Amino acid sequence: MLTPIRGFAALSGAARVALAVLAAIAIVAAFAPLVAPYDPAAQPDIVGAKNLPPSAQHPFGTDPYSRDVLSRVIYGARLSLAIGFLATMVSLTLGVAYGAVAGYAGGFVDALMMRILDALLAIPRLLLLIAILAAWTRLSVGALVLFLGLTGWFGLSRIVRGQVLALTEAEFITSARALGASRRRILARHLLPNLISPIAVAATLGVAHVIVLEVGLSYLGIGVAQPEASWGNIIHDGSDQVATLWWMSLFPGLLMVLTVMMLNIVGESLRDAYDRR
């Protein structure tokens, strides 16, 4: 098993490239006001400059409100990445806590918690989110992050529980008990640090998953609300004329695919690095 730092050092060449691509996207997103050529919400000429195809002036074209799509995609990266990252933080916290408690408590508590989890896992996440989000006409980004996080921890908590169960059988845990370590010390010093590797993998893949979900929900019109830009709602804006306004779904779509692909490459390389020990 490896610590995260040594894990990143053990990443494959492809994963390092992927990490560099992700870093580039993140930097562009972070410095959006400096990088974007236009204000993403500005509608300079709603009659004359709307629905323009890609050109030197507007590399990604403009939308039906005459807004610059490139600028919106850059600002959208900001929101889409932030939502993916923050929502994953929420699900990580919940999933690790729930799984660790279930696995370490064992017996009846574990059985009960796992049956509850089975019930939660039986609900399709997308349908659940649609049901929740459709109840609000206008949802803040914070609430969206919260709901994405609240519905994203079920699978992870199972992984964590399994790891904890396997670890409590490990001889070094018995050894720690034989040396007089308390339950709290064993949980904090011996169990959690050994969970970091599977958690790092799950988190990387989790961010990718949430990004796709956000795009999907925004495309359905119940994710990030206007005039805020996210990759999903840019696609949504052009969705009633997909055939003519092809640039509106192609560019944000490509970026989403690129980001998710890079995250998956990193995640899988991390998993390989950890499994190799």
Chain contacts with other proteins (rule: CB under 8 A): 1, 3, 107, 170-172, 174-182, 185, 189-190, 193-194, 196, 277
Q: 143 vs 170, which CB is nearer to other proteins?
A: 170
Tokens 């390389």 found at: 269
Q: How far apart are CA 29 and CA 73, in angstroms?
A: 9
Q: Which is nearer to other proteins, 14 or 189 (CB)?
A: 189
Q: Residue 159 contacts by C-beta under 8 Å, 6 or more apart in sequence?
A: 95, 99, 198, 202
| Strand partners for 62 | 68
**Which tokens hold the place of 235?**
């696609």
Residues listed for the chain = 277
User: Residue 207 class from Cβ within 10 Å (0-12 exposed, 13-18 middle, 19+ buried)?
Assistant: buried
Cα(245)–Cα(239) distance, rounded to whole angstroms?
A: 8
Q: How far is the CB of 163 from other proteins (least distance, A)?
A: 13
Cβ 77 to other proteins shortest distance, Å: 35
**Residue whose CB is less far from other proteins, 6 or 42:** 6
Residue placing its CB nearer to other proteins in the complex, 171 or 240: 171
Q: Is the four-CA dihedral 75, 77, 83, 89 of positive or negative sign?
A: negative
Q: How far is the CB of 103 from other proteins (least distance, A)?
A: 14
Closest CB 88 distance from other proteins, rounded Å: 23
Q: Judged by CB, which is closer to other proteins: 83, or 273?
A: 273
For residue 219, the cross-strand partners are: none
Report yes or no: 40 and 234 within 8 Å, Cβ to Cβ. Answer: no
SS3 68: strand
Q: Give residue for tokens 């996440």.
A: 125
Q: How far is CA 16 from the centre of its chain?
A: 19
Kindly state the smallest distance separating residue 164's Cβ from other proteins, in Å: 14
Nearer to other proteins, 190 or 271 (CB): 190
Residue 41 in tokens: 């919400």
Give the residue with the Cβ less far from other proteins, 138 or 277.
277
Q: How far is the CB of 207 from other proteins (least distance, A)?
A: 24
Smallest distance, Å, CB 188 to other proteins?
12
